Amino acid sequence: MTDLTGKTAIVTGGLSGMGLAIAEALAQAGAAVAVGSRSARSSDDPALSALRTAGDRVFAAPLDVTDQSSIDAFIAGADAAIGPADILVNAAGMTREQPVCGHDDALWNAILHTNLTGAFRMTRALLPGMIDKGFGRIINIGSTAASVGWKDNPAYCASKAGLLGLTRCVALEGAPHGVTCVMISPTWVETDLMRRDVAEIVQREARGRSVEQAMADIASENPQGRILQTDEIAALALYLCSDAARGITMENIQVTGGALW
């Protein structure tokens, strides 16, 4: 098993979906974990309770990666609570169905600022400290959308393609200093975000399918006949944080079950 005792990690979007699964895996491996989320409002949040069960050093606070002042406050709080970050997982993300024709500027900006600029700002804040200590692991949660188009999702596809470019630049900057940067790009993963997006697709197509029928159709289209689960992404992220993965950087690792999308 990967032992991250003595390491500290920050996970954005860390109270839901892939972010939560990764945070739990890091905590179980011994890392002190700080999770930031727009939903981090209550100490009795079930997700936070589960995370604290996974590890005994957990910090959680509100974080809006589109707001620099929120980022600054969160990082200051995390630093005081668990120490400077050795690991950064940029898992905060959003998407909405909208074709290019008539695409709203505010929606475009919200998606780009969350998925791409937010990851840039978090990395900009934490990379210097990792370089100074000679160790760092940065993992960006991407998507097959980084390299495959998706109808009615231009902002999401653009944000993930941009995130891949950022990943490569960060990897090169950190390489001489023991800092790696990798993007994990899954196909559909069963999360609340996926269900919300599928519900939006079903509503737009007006074919009479239910969300569950649409989910089943997505599963049947995958060569493995299933939808990926968050623990699969978490297991990969955990490995990438280990010393064994020190040579893996600047990569876009796709987890697809054999699917092109």
Which residues are annotated as catalytic? 156
Per residue, the 3-state secondary structure of the chain, as one string, reads CCCCCCCEEEEECCCCHHHHHHHHHHHHCCCEEEEEECCCCCCCCHHHHHHHHHCCCEEEEECCCCCHHHHHHHHHHHHHHHCCCCEEEECCCCCCCCCCCCCCHHHHHHHHHHHHHHHHHHHHHHHHHHHHHCCEEEEEECCHHHCCCCCCCHHHHHHHHHHHHHHHHHHHHHHHHCEEEEEEEECCECCHHHHHHHHHHHHHHCCCCCHHHHHHHHHHHCCCCCCECHHHHHHHHHHHCCHHHCCCCCCEEEECCCCCC
